[in-house]
């Protein structure tokens, strides 16, 4: 089965970019968003059959996949609402955490397969959406309902140039806690540290600080939801990070040249291997 008409619930940066990329492959689009400015912008592109801020109208449309692209706690609430309405069409999402979303979908009894496109930007909103945002990026699928046509969802994303991988929701949350959520915390914390110690130093930043801190400009609603939903992993991972910072502090306190050299050499070698 191919998905021919996809309805997006939430048309921000992620929903907008996915929608634009599917439109390039001839998929029919509809959109639901509570922000009427966003809907007006979507209508202006001429790519959307329907654009509405009314959930009843959305659910009455003739689409064959509902794609939820809301901040993760709103996504869970939306899923619960679909369960209340005994919604039966296939539903997927683009949330950055997967265990909680899978729990909400199971509870709601909907036909669901979780998803997470691994790309983004530090800016948000439909105006910043780009058809090419996810080209070459991973798309993680966390299947839930046996009746969901996971192969069709895989093909939809592969056609958009994405690399599709299947994971268990818990494995997903641990992995992306480590390589996405923890780096965001360290970026937020680093900018905060500079501002607390000497805010004027921000006037003199070079490329190193700017590269490292780009993601500190990310959307507060999205990231607060992620940390609330992935809390147990984050507490563990922050402890690991603190232990690593302690190693650095000790090495510097003890003028341990060998330890510092080896820590940098090891990190540099791993970083160079990233494609």
Least Cβ distance, residue 171 to ligand PRE (angstroms) = 15
Least Cβ distance, residue 196 to ligand PRE (angstroms) = 23
CB 95 within 8 A of CB 114: yes
Q: Where are the alpha helices (DSSP H) in 199-230?
A: 207-213, 220-229
According to CB under 6 A, which one of 23, 47, 55, 118 is a site residue for ligand PRE?
118
| Total interface residues for ligand PRE by CB under 6 A | 9
Least Cβ distance, residue 218 to ligand PRE (angstroms) = 6
Nearest residue to 70 via CA among 62, 61, 60, 82: 82
Q: Does 180 bind ligand PRE (CB under 6 A)?
A: yes
Which CB, 51 or 222, lies closer to ligand PRE? Answer: 222
Pairing, β 91-93 against β 65-68: parallel
Residue 93 CA to residue 68 CA, distance in Å, equals 4
| Residues 11-70 contacting ligand PRE, CB under 6 A | none
CA distances in angstroms from 240 to 177, 224, 234, listed in the order given: 12, 21, 10
Pairing, β 5-9 against β 28-32: parallel
Q: Does 121 bind ligand PRE (CB under 6 A)?
A: yes
Q: Does 215 bind ligand PRE (CB under 6 A)?
A: yes
Least Cβ distance, residue 96 to ligand PRE (angstroms) = 3
- Using CB under 6 A as the criterion, which residues of the chain lie in contact with ligand PRE when the complex forms? 96, 118-122, 180, 215, 218
């Amino acid at each position: 089965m191919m998905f021919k008409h996809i309805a997006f619930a939430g048309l921000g940066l992620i929903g907008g970019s996915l929608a634009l990329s599917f439109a390039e492959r001839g998929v029919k689009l509809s959109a639901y968003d509570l922000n009427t400015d966003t809907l007006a912008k979507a209508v202006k592109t001429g790519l959307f059959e329907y654009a509405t801020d009314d959930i009843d109208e959305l659910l009455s449309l003739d689409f064959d996949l509902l794609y939820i692209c809301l901040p993760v706690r709103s996504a869970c609430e939306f899923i619960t609402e679909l369960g209340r309405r005994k919604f039966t069409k296939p539903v997927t999402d683009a949330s950055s955490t997967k265990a909680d979303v899978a729990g909400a979908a199971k509870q709601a009894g909907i036909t669901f397969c979780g998803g997470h496109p691994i790309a983004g930007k530090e800016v948000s909103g439909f105006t910043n959406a780009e058809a090419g945002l996810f080209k070459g990026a991973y798309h993680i699928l966390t299947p839930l309902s046996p009746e969901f046509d996971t192969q069709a969802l895989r093909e939809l994303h592969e056609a958009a140039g994405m690399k599709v991988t299947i994971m268990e929701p818990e494995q997903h949350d641990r992995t992306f806690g480590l390589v996405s959520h923890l780096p965001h915390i360290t970026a937020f914390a680093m900018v905060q540290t500079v501002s607390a110690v000497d805010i004027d130093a921000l006037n003199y930043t070079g490329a190193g600080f700017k590269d490292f801190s780009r993601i500190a400009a990310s959307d507060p609603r999205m990231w607060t939801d992620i940390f609330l939903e992935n809390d147990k992993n984050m507490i563990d991972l922050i402890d690991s990070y603190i232990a690593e910072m302690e190693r650095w502090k000790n090495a510097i306190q003890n003028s341990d040249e060998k330890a510092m050299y080896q820590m940098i050499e090891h990190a540099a070698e791993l970083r160079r291997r990233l494609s």
